[in-house]
Amino acid sequence: MKKFKYSARDQQGKIVSGSLEAKDYDSVADILHDRGLIVVSVKESMGLNLERLAEINIGGVPMKEKVVFMRQMATMVGAGLPLSRSLEIMTQQTENPMFRRVLKDVLLSVQSGKSLSDSFRAQEEIFDEVTLNLIEAGEESGNLETILERLATELEEKNSLGRKLKSAMIYPTIILVVIIAVVVLMMIVLIPSMSTIYSDFDAELPAITKILMSMSSFFVHYWWAILVVLAVLIIGGKFYLDSDKGKRSFDKIILKIPAVGMIITKMQLAQFTRILALLLGSGLSIIKALELTGASLSNSMFRDTVMDAKSEVEKGGALAIPIARSEYFPLLVSSMIAVGEETGEIDAVLTKVSQYYKEEVDVATTNMSSVLEPVFLIIMGLAIGFIALGVYMPMFQLSSAIG
């Protein structure tokens, strides 16, 4: 968004000037016309914008701010407060500078006659398409209060799942870092000092010791080459994963990793059932609901399955059939969807399934550390044991020879 200075005339012919943030000149003109003003001039504001510097916020608007916005807006709209007045109050009390600026622009847009969903669409990806379509459905059905409450709950659930996965990975990550640090320290300090001692004896060393000494020597003298290779692998991997083929390959592989794959699967199932239930319960058609749900899933395998299912439903087929054919969706999900389609209460059935998988994710993330901890400890033990064997075997041989 750019900042523009404008000059315009109101209906009485008086000159009105000020500043606006918009995508381009045409957007400024549209906003001014919506306010009933005649544009005289529009110029892009140049120079340092201290207000925008204060808006710098890595990661965008915090999830907490979005949840508070949804809940408080629902309360005010439910109390009969006009939408524009509700937005004024939220603009005044929002702490995040970036979100406050966005809400100011949304307020002006709503005051000019645009809908809340369209006003947010004009902003820089504050809310995703699922959220925007739900707000639009709430506005069209006159049920905005309920939709905003559901959205607040949805955002909290989504944020909660992400936090649980990160928390489950903290301890295994620490163990992995410790393993790497210990091995590197031995390669740099212990093995070079032992190599100097062994070279003075001019004795035949065991094969394992020779391998370790060669590895240590390469590590000490060509550490820069190792860093270059790692940098190339990381950058190359990043480019590959950013491509469609790379993303699909990674998504397919990660689902096959023990423990991690199981958690990712359950998280995707929980999100699929929860969002689809929310969209269908808000009055969206099943085609539109499947399209938005599929787009919201982070794993390509699940996303492709949902998009394929959408194509079959468009042709008149039942949703349960393509879901049942997928290797990534368990029989429970397709069976419950079939029950929901038969009874006409698919959103209620999906809500129950989403609750089940939410509980499954809770259990899986809680147990993840206990599953991965012994694996990493075994790896650390083998690595240290290999190094220790290579270092101390020559000592035993020398002791035997001296004895």
Give the pLDDT of residue 309. Answer: 92
The average pLDDT across 86-104 equals: 85
**pLDDT tens-digit profile of 18-48?**
777 776 667 777 777 777 777 767 777 654 4
Give the pLDDT of residue 183. Answer: 78
Give the pLDDT of residue 305. Answer: 92
Q: Which run of H or E residues covers position 360?
A: helix 346-402
Q: SS3 string of 264-278? A: HHHHHHHHHHHHHHH
Q: How confident is the model at residue 57 (pLDDT cuts 50, 70, 90)?
A: very low
pLDDT at 143 exceeding the cut of 90 = no
Give the pLDDT of residue 390. Answer: 75
Q: How confident is the model at residue 338 (pLDDT cuts 50, 70, 90)?
A: very high
Q: Please, what is the average pLDDT of the chain?
A: 81
Nearest-5° Cα angle at 163, 160 to 166:
155
Domains of the chain: 2-47 (3.10.20), 63-156 (1.20.81.30), 158-403 (1.20.81.30)
The average pLDDT across 373-388 equals: 78
**pLDDT tens-digit profile of 158-210?**
777 777 777 777 777 787 788 788 778 877 877 777 777 776 666 677 787 78
The average pLDDT across 311-315 equals: 91
pLDDT at 232 exceeding the cut of 90 = yes
**Residue 9, strand partner residues:** 15, 38
Give the pLDDT of residue 203. Answer: 63
DSSP for 96-141 reads: -HHHHHHHHHHHHHHHTT--HHHHHHTSSSSS-HHHHHHHHHHHHH
Residue with tokens 């020879």: 401
**Residue 39, strand partner residues:** 8
**pLDDT tens-digit profile of 151-167?**
888 888 777 777 777 77
The pLDDT > 90 percentage for the chain reads: 12
Among 23-37, 92-106, 212-226, name the one with the lowest average pLDDT: 23-37
The model's pTM is 0.68
**pLDDT tens-digit profile of 123-134?**
767 788 888 888
Q: Please state, in angstroms and rounded to a whole number, the distance separating the CA atoms of residues 311 and 325.
A: 14
Q: Please state, in angstroms and rounded to a whole number, the distance separating the CA atoms of residues 71 and 148.
A: 7
pLDDT at 54 exceeding the cut of 60 = no
More confident of the two residues 96 and 338? 338
pLDDT at 111 exceeding the cut of 80 = yes
Q: Is 9 helix (H, G, I), strand (E, B) or coil?
A: strand
Closest CA to 63 of 6, 131, 4: 131
Give the pLDDT of residue 335. Answer: 92
